[in-house]
């Protein structure tokens, strides 16, 4: 996707925070889909870089991008992250 390095770094940091939160739940919410949370954390800004030139809403285009590739649940989270 040609993501800028600082956006990749930001997504990695969001992943680390999400993982920390998940680990600190100590099983309080056993129905949480950890793989879904991790994927959404890493991909939440997947179309952010291109939005700087297209002025598109990166939450919507990220959601559409992921839906189109067969990841509707991840896309739904990405579409709501702002």
Distances (CA, A) of 39 to 26, 27, 52, 56, 70: 20, 20, 23, 22, 13
Pinpoint the alpha helices (H) of 1-82: 5-24, 34-43, 48-54, 58-68, 72-78
Per-residue pLDDT tens over the stretch 45-63: 999 999 999 999 999 999 9
Sorted by sequence, the CB contacts under 8 Å of residue 65 that are 6+ apart come out as: 46, 47, 75
- Spatial distance between the Cα atoms of 26 and 71, rounded to a whole number of angstroms: 27
Residue 82 has pLDDT above 90, yes or no: no
Per-residue pLDDT tens over the stretch 24-42: 887 777 788 999 999 999 9
pLDDT score recorded for residue 23: 87
Domain positions in the chain are: 5-78
Average pLDDT taken over every residue of the chain: 94
Per-residue pLDDT tens over the stretch 67-78: 999 999 999 999
pLDDT score recorded for residue 72: 98
């Amino acid at each position: 996707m040609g993501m800028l390095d600082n956006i990749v770094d930001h997504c990695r940091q969001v992943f680390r925070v999400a993982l920390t939160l998940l680990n600190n739940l100590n099983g309080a919410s056993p129905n949480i889909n950890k793989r879904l949370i991790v994927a959404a954390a890493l991909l939440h800004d997947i179309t952010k870089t291109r939005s700087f030139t297209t002025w598109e809403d990166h939450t919507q285009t990220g959601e559409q991008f992921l839906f189109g590739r067969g990841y509707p649940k991840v896309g739904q989270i990405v579409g709501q992250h702002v």
